[in-house]
Chains A and B, each alone.
Chain A
Amino acid sequence: MKPKLRVENVYKIFGDHPEQALEGLKQNKTKIEIFEETGQTVGVQDVSFDVREGEIFVVMGLSGSGKSTLVRTLNGLIPPTYGKILIDEDDVASCSAERLRKVRREKITMVFQHFALFPHKTVAENAAYGLKIKGEGATPRRAKALAALEQVGLAAYADSYPDELSGGMQQRVGLARGLATDPQILLMDEPFGALDPLIRREMQEELLHLQKKLKKTIIFITHDLNEALLLGDKIAIMKDGRFVQVGTAQEIVDNPADDYVAAFVGDIDRGRVFDAAHVAERPITVELGEKNAAEKALDLMEEHNRNALYVVEDDRIAGLVTYQELAVAAREEGRTDLSEVLVTEVPTVSRDTPLNELYGAASAGYPIAVADKRGRLAGVIEPQAVFSQLSGEESEEVVSTTDEADAGAAQKGERQ
């Protein structure tokens, strides 16, 4: 699929002699060395990325990492020194002022950290600003502004002034203003950074909820890794003006590219990043009515070094048997009917259940069943896999088995 926004080798160097700074960068000098030698400040260096339609692309970095500069190059508020920024066929970096205005009016809007609402305009007038600039008439303008305010739950405050609203409400107005012109791309520059943690959480949830309906292409800037991991379909970690790593939340937490990223990832809540599918393995099962089911089950457990095994019946989860009970029943007492020792109360979760909701199930000691939408067994999670993933002592083994489990589940789906 063609990307909605494509950024190619963008540099932003502040100063009158960017070529000197570029020379310094080629020699692998640091930002500070370049500043000391040439007086040029490197804001963004050699950043390239694609954002697909409907994706939330999060750029995460500490202050001074160049993330705010980067996001401002995307709509030309800060023209990049070198490089291309392609929105459809327009290159924001080099097109005429006229063309740039058209792009801003029709395709790309922005939400600001400190809201940047116009204090002399009402909430509705603020939300309608982009429409007014485009030259829409007063009546459709108001209707669209109210519709946008409705989306963020503020229609009732249409005729209030921004200073009469709380911070969270003001940022909702900022969001409504960004959405009112129905742009394809929304730039969000630390939009929740100025809000207190509780409201921030609420706004994050709400953004995700809105995004499900709106499917905008969003570039979201933040300094909060947890926020990045929660919102981002893709996340870029930025340091000293360049991307150190780009990937999904799980890729970044699982495989930090360097010590810098690893230091960040160290104290995040892994239970929220990873889901059940991530630690699930391909299920090893026996069929309930199978001949010699008991013997087969025992063999399988010995072979795979497991102490419990799932039993299925026509692809439904029938329950599980433990090695201990089955061995006693079958080998010592000669009872070979699985249903006698079957545990039917088994912990079942879905593929996208976050790991932090598996603690309870995992501490029961039984493997956890991962069921797909139709209730079929898609994978099994060994309790110790949950804990090792949460504690971050992850092993390559777990990662590879996950892939297998996914593949296995997919194959299973195809067969049916």
Chain B
Amino acid sequence: MADATLLGEFVLDSLELLDDAEPKLIELQASSQVPDQVNTESINSIFRLFHSMKGSAGMLELHNITSLTHEAETLLDMFRSGKTQMTRAHMDTLFKAMDLIREILASVDANLTDKGFEDSVSGLVEELGIAISQGGGDASPAPKAKKPEPVKPPEPPPPPPEPVAKPEPEPAAAADFSFDEFEIPITQEMLDRFVTEADELLEQCEAMLLTMEDDTTGEPVHEAFRAMHSFKGNCGFMGLSDPERMSHRMENVLSGVKEGIIAPTSDNTGILLKLVDILRDAVADVSSGGKGHIDNLELYVQLLDEILPEASEPDAEPEPAAEPQAMAAGPAEPASAPGPEEESPLPSMEIKLEEEKAPEAPQDAAGPKAVPAKPKEIPATKAAPRTIVRQDIRVDLAKLDHLINLVGELVIAETMVTRNPDLVGHDFENFEKSAMHLSKIVRDLQDISLSVRMIPIAGVFRKMIRLVHDLSAKAGKKINLTLVGEDTEIDKTVAEIIADPLVHLVRNSIDHGLEPPDERKTAGKEETGEILLQAGHEGGEVWILIRDDGRGLSRENILAKAIERGLVNGDGSDLSDSDVYNMIFHPGFSTAKQVTDISGRGVGMDVVKKNIERIKGHIDVRNNPGHGCTIVLRLPLTMAIIEGLLVRVGKAKYTIPLLAVRENIQVTKEMITKTMDGQELVMVRGQLLPIYRVHELHNTRPDNYKLEEGLLVIVENRGEMACLFVDEILGDQQAVIKGLSNYIGSVRGVSGCTILGDGEVSLILDVAGLIRKAQGLEAA
């Protein structure tokens, strides 16, 4: 029925909505504890989340989601109207609902249906129903207790299409209601979202209207009705009275068609289509900052009323009530008044007439009558053709990666052309000019294509809000989470890979770092523990800090554990603090049963480290015993390109990441010392550095075996310096990183490869791995 792409989009959208809503729900709880400070914006946005999800789910016939979101919506509406105070129990129920929706969404994504969740849904619907029915009373005991006789009968699991239609009148009323109750602060973000969504809904409605005439199944009418209904709800929520009124009438007409009271004649659909266009104009007006004012609204309303038979009218608002509301909503728009006067509302108004009028109407309004009222805004919106411009598009990530790969190849091809060996010795002035131009374009293209993959880290950070909320309750600790630098952009892949490590780290901070409130008091700290998540650019890297003000790491405990596990020879007193702290990353270190005896920091830390290293990042521990601990994740800005130093060893060309390179030196025999186990050392400015021969590590044949005939590249890895012996340095270059094939897997001392200007493949040396490999070889 509903096709897979629609479902896929729905799942994506819904997940986004959920991600947005969760932090807001937590915010809401914080604010609802203080009376009179109910954060209406948060409530409204969560309400809207459930409402629009319900609408879409209804359209896609995902009945489980529909019934669940409907109940959640009803509950939220009670908070919204102030009938009920939000309690912890309510929150938990709502969270449960969100989790269940996530679960269902996952299944929808995989199986394209939400069947199979009937039991859990009806359970939760019951819970929500209890919370709702208890109204103002204390709801805390209720959600847990599953009463055998539910107050609100759970909807039958695979409900026939009715449930979709049934809940509908309610939210509409609610939307109106909220509008009268209080002014909703509408953010730009909400506005953007409204415009995009409204545009989609109208498009959908239009498409359905067009097929309605020839259709016998009645499905298009349903769809059009639903789209119009959602549109109306959104308008009501945004406080756009004109489009709301009109869409309400259109909805009535559509419902008439649905019930067979009104015939879907081409005349009628013609009117509806025309009005959809007018609604679109109104949305365009909203997107350019207006109030969605519709000229000649009364005329259109009347037109629709004529289509409607008397019988279906009663539930529509009485005319006088609507009038003042429209006026009140658009205080800046007295222009709506001339509407009804201008066109005498003749009952015999024909479509043909209407068709001529409609396109003219906007221009009329821009004319003398409207000018005094709104001289600034109306001309501005009229001047440009009224189109709604979407500011983003969704692109398949694979496509994007392919594009970026191609750009990477273009960079290489460009070098192949401009530094073509055939050009050597020639002086082509015009060619040089064109080549320069080409180079510039290619660089720009590269910059842009790389930036496309960058996303703000906010998405990852915001997930932590929920985590901290849940864990703080579980652990009985009070925690204040601060997020800094949410707008820092990181590569999408990086963002995905650090999500899990962040969860680990934050969990560790809560579980092991932060003390319980009484212990904190004794230690002279605030009862509420602080956790700071901070992101920012630092040099060529992105740094993410996870800081807590808990008890910090204990050197003694870690050391004791390490000695017990045989990781340290002797008593470890010669080890530096950072060496000791880094032991927490040792695989298996955490799985020991006394892990809680150590000051924590162990659960899955080796996995954290592995993940971070997988994306060429580093992880540092900064500890302040008794006062907290900071974990610093240092991540590469992009995973696609590095600055590299190209060196040659025999026939092989290697790329060494420039970040790791300190300097190159040529040595003389006197500078070299050889220990009895064969390790060569070189004295550089009073420092003895080990020399590793790349050809030995990689089993190749070099030109030079004598150190003084080749070159030493001094590299640094996490403060550890070493020299790599190579034959020659060929220069530095931008290297587009490519993975070695999966077939080859990971190679020690090699992090990937890149394609050189001449098409040859050059391995990128992994300095840390190389050093470890060298040390391993020595030990062997």
Q: Do A and B bind each other?
A: no
